[in-house]
Structure 1
Amino acid sequence: MSTSTLIGFLVGGLGFPTLLLGLLIYIRGGVVRLERRGLHAQGKVLRVQYPRTNKRTVYYTFRPPEGPEFQGNFQEWPPGPSERAPGSPVDVLYLEEAPHDHMAAGKGLSRRFFLIAATLLVLFASLCTHGVLQEYFAPQGQDLARTR
């Protein structure tokens, strides 16, 4: 294995999981910020979309006391027994200084999902790195024996 191939595999095996982990950290940080500092508003369901998959998309609107109306959506999967219908209430969290940052209460990236995904990404990166480095530093004689 050449050095450029080694670098390519390491960038793929470490870079991709690192980018995904960074994205997850950013999203989870926004959810935590809304859960800790967010104000509550009562919104209403505009419509519910039922695609062919086992999840549904709920579109909602809300108006903070100090500003214009905002719209958002969230996905529920699997759809629970309490069916949401247009006009039904939905609890919304938003930031006072930035009401465009909002989410339906309880619908953000959960701590449990974040920890499971982060653990799997770190495990994947570790296994990729271990495998690539083991292959790179293997004596040349072993490479020939493996192919036969």
Structure 2
Amino acid sequence: DADRNGFVMGEGAAVLVLEDLEHARARGADVYCEISGYATFGNAYHMTGLTKEGLEMARAIDTALDMAELDGSAIDYVNAHGSGTQQNDRHETAAVKRSLGAHAYATPMSSIKSMVGHSLGAIGSIELAACVLAMSHQVVPPTANYTTPDPECDL
């Protein structure tokens, strides 16, 4: 939302069981997803500051796609970090556009932080659990309180 001014602190946790696919199948586990690519990057620009070009995040997206042997057109949904800060949201929008190209405009993107807040260290596992459930139920979680579009965050 163009009028956003930060995030609301959230609280919560999620637990995920990661195991070898063959082991999970052998024990008859319900397998919700498979992690086939991942990446993490940082920058030396500033501890919390991000460049608006989205270069670092785009490198992480591209590296994860390469590891998974996918290209950007294979992406069906983007769970945005969506912290509600002007700088972060613009950085993320630029990164997704860099990595997915024109396909970024056809890919649904939302953030559950609009509904559950930002629980800092726990939010990664909460968002992963929410994404896995959204995919298994074929739904796109909404972004609550989105009323005024930001032209710099146009995905």
Q: What TM-score do the two structures reach when normalised by structure 2?
A: 0.20
Q: Whose helix proportion is higher, 1 or 2?
A: 1
> Higher relative contact order by CA 8 Å / sep ≥ 6: 1 or 2?
2
TM-score (norm 1): 0.20
Which protein is richer in strand relative to its size? 1
